[in-house]
Amino acid sequence: MRESGDGPGGYTEPARTPSVARHFSARQPCPMPRLTDTRPVCAVVAKAGAGARKPAIGTAPYMKFGFVVYLFIWQDARMSRPANPQTARTLAVAGELRVLASQLKRRLREQANFGDLTLSQVAVLRRLEADGPATVTLLARAEGMRPQSMGANVAALQAAGFVTGTPDPSDGRQTLWSITPACREWIKAGRAAREDWLFRAIQKHLSADEQVQLASVLPLLKRVVES
């Protein structure tokens, strides 16, 4: 502590410890956990704060600091690795198959000419083609949408000439929607375009033996999908 003569009666200013001043002078870099460390890591980093301030007459001196707390939760990647080699191989195959399925779906979608239709509207058309006529309420429930949103999709499809509505025989207040003949031809043409692209890709990039190998895998994939 040292005495200062400023102000009536003076005041006592706390001495600044050099080590403390250095520690809180600037924000310290946050330590990152090592890759071999499997324990949670918690780092507390001090932020630059106000030093000793002159207190009012008759009050005790004080120091004010600000703190920033960083919390790191670290988990060793080895904890998620299966010990069984067969399980590890199956996990790797599942991951690669998921990626390939997503890429194939995207490439097939690029071959179809959806025009101005959204993916949700295309899903409605496919639902009506597969399941037959349905009301807006049933379509919304099947697609996991709100009836209001489904009603907007059906109205857009009707304006484009893809669906037509007839009164529901069991409930005159409802309308049964079904795809039009023109829509059925449009769906058939899009499906043919996707199959044609896939056919040409297989012929171009796979040899005859590889095509036989690919055909032998299809029953296995079908069992996985239908499980």
CB 48 within 8 A of CB 27: yes
Does the residue 201 lie in any domain? yes
Does the residue 183 lie in any domain? yes
In this predicted model, what pLDDT tens digit does every residue of 51-75 receive, in sequence order? 445 555 555 555 555 655 555 555 5
**221 & 141 share domain:** yes
Report the candidate in 117, 178, 187 with the shortest Cα–Cα distance to residue 152.
117
Burial of 125 (0-12, 13-18, 19+ CB in 10 A): buried
The structure tokens 């009164």 sit at 167
pLDDT of residue 39: 45
Does the residue 93 lie in any domain? no
Strand partners, 176: 166
pLDDT of residue 184: 93
**192 & 128 share domain:** yes
pLDDT confidence band for 81 (50 / 70 / 90): low
pLDDT of residue 25: 43
* Domain membership of residue 72 as a residue range: 2-77
pLDDT of residue 70: 56
pLDDT confidence band for 182 (50 / 70 / 90): very high
Does the residue 155 lie in any domain? yes
pLDDT confidence band for 99 (50 / 70 / 90): very high
* Nearby residues of 197 by Cβ (< 8 Å), 6 or more positions away: 107, 108, 111
pLDDT confidence band for 109 (50 / 70 / 90): confident
pLDDT of residue 52: 47
**145 & 68 share domain:** no
Asked if the model's pLDDT at residue 23 lies above 90, the reply is: no
**53 & 9 share domain:** yes
pLDDT of residue 179: 96
Does the residue 73 lie in any domain? yes
Which one of 22, 51, 77 terminates a domain? Answer: 77
In this predicted model, what pLDDT tens digit does every residue of 193-219 receive, in sequence order? 999 999 999 999 999 999 999 999 999
Rg for the chain (alpha carbons), in Å? Answer: 35
Give the number of domains in the chain.
Answer: 2
Does the residue 92 lie in any domain? no
pLDDT of residue 50: 46
pLDDT of residue 2: 47
Report the candidate in 43, 50, 53 with the shortest Cα–Cα distance to residue 66.
50
Asked if the model's pLDDT at residue 191 lies above 70, the reply is: yes
In this predicted model, what pLDDT tens digit does every residue of 131-179 receive, in sequence order? 999 999 999 999 999 999 999 999 999 999 999 999 988 887 889 999 9
**C-alpha separations of 34 from 29, 68, 72 in Å:** 15, 22, 12
> Whole-angstrom Cα distance, residue 157 to residue 93?
40
Does the residue 178 lie in any domain? yes
Does the residue 165 lie in any domain? yes
